[in-house]
Amino acid sequence: MAKNWYPIINTELCTNCGTCVQFCPHNVFESDHQHPLVVRPENCVEFCRGCAKACPMEAITYFGDQ
Ligand code: SF4
Ligand code: SF4
C-alpha cells in the first residue's frame, strides 16, 4: 500500500457528493461536513485513479502524480 500516492481533494471544486467515499474499497476517505477527508492515505493503492474517475467534479488529483 502506498505512502507516496494518495488523493488530494480540491475543496473549491468538491460538492461533497460522497461518490469518492462510497467508491473507494480501501477506506481511504471519511465523510465530513464540508468535504471528504483523506484519513487513511496509507491504504491508497499506488497508481489507482478510481476515485478521480468517479468524481463528477474532477476535484481529485494525486500526491505522487507525475
Ligand atoms: S485512488 Fe483508489 S485506492 Fe486510492 S483513494 Fe482513490 S479509489 Fe481509493
Ligand atoms: S466525488 Fe468529488 S465532488 Fe464528490 S465528494 Fe468526492 S471529491 Fe467531492
- Residues above pLDDT 70, as percent of the chain: 97
pLDDT at 15 over 60: yes
pLDDT at 1 over 80: no
Which residue type, as a one-letter code, is found at position 22?
Q
Specify the pTM.
0.95
Does ligand 1 have an atom closer than 6 angstroms to the CB of 24?
Answer: yes
How confident is the model over 32-59, as pLDDT tens digits? 999 999 999 999 999 999 999 999 999 9
Q: Whose CA is nearest to atom 6 of ligand 1?
A: 51
Q: Which of 60, 49, 56, 48 is nearest to 19 (CA)?
A: 56
Mutation choice for ligand 1 from 24, 46, 58, 62, CB with most ligand atoms inside 8 A: 24
The residues, any chain, with a CB within 8 Å of residue 47's CB and separated by 6 or more, are 5
pLDDT at 28 over 70: yes
Name the residue with cell 487513511.
40
Please state which CATH class domain 6-63 belongs to: alpha beta
Q: Whose CA is nearest to atom 6 of ligand 2?
A: 20
Report the greatest alpha carbon distance in the chain. 31
